[in-house]
Structure 1
């Protein structure tokens, strides 16, 4: 068995990654959970593994935690190989989806549990001080004597976080910790997690299937599919510059119009799509004239108006969903078929709202589309 990673290794190079996956794979017999993962995790960043169920994101997290050993490749913490180091000997803590709190213990006893397992055990006064500080950090001061079943869902999540941070881990791993919370509480906890991560300076790694959660919280997102990493980047980069249709479809909403390239030059590619229409935009990769490709247009890039012919393409409003700050319209064009339009309250105040069955004109800025090579 390998030795425990040494805390002082992190001080050797502040720019060195806190953790790495090098060609890491995990197979369960003939089943491939993840394959050839290469990822360098920066010190102090908030990274999210994003993807649908079964894409391998939780397996990647469990390899970092030590609950799974890679079938091939390496897991490194502070530059040291930890493939065979058990979870309790890694400077890593994990917050599980259902928190895994002990119902028979008080809040303070739950938080102190990890400290009490250390050998030699810290003095009682030191443990009490650390627990009180953790409760202050997660904004639960004075609640150490409460029972777990007396706490709300949001408070239980904070207790789980306090139990994780009291050990001062180098990595804090979050396995869909907000899946059981209602929407408003989930949003509040997202803000609290961001604030907590920035104040502590600990590297947070989140697993989620919720793209809105990943976009709103992360410094970087690692998007996965079928056990492999598809694209790594900041939230804005994944949203504005997806590598392919899968990324554009998974990160936010998008309309896709397949066609063939009719012209290609630096900074602009023209695509002939159904109905004799041309859509222009920036290509995500070099495309030759005649190549099959797909134009991606975000719903918020498209405007609806009642102007006459020549101001866009004619559409019929099929459905309308009021979302508060926006209204989402499903519209149909004879050539393009059905697609989504997202209208802000300001846009509707200027142009007026539309009802199902209304005729309208849909338009978007020239060159606004992203032209994606077929996967």
Structure 2
């Protein structure tokens, strides 16, 4: 999917490329799993592939790892085409969703397993020294003799990370490594992974369908759909300036109102919604009169008032979430949409209750006019 002024292969000035897809496609029989991928991954960055099941993100990761070869195009590592280079010969390591640890081995044996396969053989004392350093990096010093089945889920994940980094790969691939952890531990490990990546300076490439995970951990996110790259950018860029409705809906939560453009003036566009209302918004890319678009408004951009002008809304549901309160409201003409009210606002003005009638508003700059596809 090509977009005006958009090139997924572009990096900021001064960034060195460590891995690259050049016009890469991958077919499994009649299924096109990856379609014309063009992407440059910078040395030392944390990049995430984000998208739903079947979007092509895992296929892209497996082609970097060497577990799959592209049907068309080239995969490059450090400037060299590696299409036909075996996985074990690439400067790449991978952490799998279920860790793939050997249950009959100790922690030290698991971590040092790859080193023992190297030829010529490394001295035992050197392997022990490297294992000890890797354990210190993941904060598991002193666990050398533990069995894998004696470790918690978070500890097992750290063992898998230590095993992956001990060979000092240029690229560390992470295939949904936090999916099996509970919410609290997952958040802790997100911070651990960020700190580890900065400490080691290794390029991390993560595959995930969890938007919160991608937003919180990544320097850049590559959003995929139907085997294609839809948009690449920093978490803030994708959240504040999504290229289309798909990205806005997948990266964060948004309210959508569909309509057609009636007027374009400078940085504003007027959109007549399906219910007949006229709404002003800020186009993310060029739009034209008559074009079908979606207005996207993030829930935290909407303000609720006890008095005001215009159509009213009624609170259908209220969920207290600690740092904010989520309201589902039904507007007289716009229908149902979500609003997030910050805790401080609730403390100052008091909360709204189910059944309350109120007024809702947002700034025109908060209403993004997006391609509806």
Q: TM-score range by the shorter chain?
A: over 0.9
Give me the whole-angstrom Cα distance separating, in 2, the residues matched to 1:150 and 1:271. 60
- Alpha-carbon distance between aligned partners in 1 of 2:106 and 2:26, rounded to the nearest angstrom: 38
Q: TM-score, normalised to structure 1's length?
A: 0.94
Superposition misfits of 4+ residues, deviation over 6 angstroms: none
Q: Once structures 1 and 2 are overlaid, which stretch shifts more, 164-173 or 360-369?
A: 360-369
1:10 alignment counterpart: none
Contact 2:319 2:327 in 1 (8 A): yes
Query: What is the rounded CA distance, in whole Å, between the counterparts of 1:97 and 1:321 in structure 2?
Result: 32
Q: Which residue of 1 aligns with 2:168?
A: 168
Bigger Cα displacement from structure 2, 358-367 vs 206-215 = 358-367
- Equivalent position to 1:328, from 313, 326, 329: 326
**Would you say 1:251 and 2:243 are equivalent positions?**
no
Shift of 1:168: 0.3
Q: Does the 8 Å contact 1:305/1:351 carry over to 2?
A: no
- d(CA) in 1 for partners of 2:90, 2:158: 22
What corresponds to 1:305 in structure 2?
305
Choose from 336, 341, 354 the match for 1:356: 354
Say what the alpha-carbon RMSD is for the aligned residues.
Answer: 1.2
Gaps of 5+ in 2: 1-13
Asked if the contact 2:111/2:159 (under 8 Å) is kept, the reply is yes
CA distance in 1, matches of 2:15, 2:278: 47
Note the C-alpha offset of 1:284: 1.7
Note if 1:277 corresponds to 2:271.
Answer: no
* Counterparts of 2:181 and 2:199, CA distance in 1: 24
Q: Distance in 1 between matches of 2:361 and 2:166?
A: 54
Q: Deviations over 1:270-327 (max 9, x none)?
A: 212245433222102211223221110000000112114x1x5410111111111111
Q: Which residue of 2 aligns with 1:210?
A: 210
In the alignment, which residue of structure 1 is the partner of 2:34?
A: 34
Deviates more, 1:348-357 or 1:316-325: 348-357
Report what 1:367 is aligned to.
365
**Residue aligning to 2:97:** 97
The residue that corresponds to 2:293 in the other structure is 293
Look up the SS of the partner of 1:18 in the other structure: strand
Q: Distance in 2 between matches of 1:243 and 1:61?
A: 24
Equivalent in the alignment of 1:75: 75
- Aligned twin of 2:56: 56
Gapped runs of 5+ residues in structure 1? Answer: 1-13
Contact 2:282-2:364 within 8 A present in 1 as well: no
Q: Distance in 1 between matches of 2:365 and 2:358?
A: 22
* Structure-2 separation of matches of 1:204 and 1:87: 17
One of 298, 314, 331 as aligned partner of 1:316: 314
Give the aligned partner of residue 5 of structure 1: none
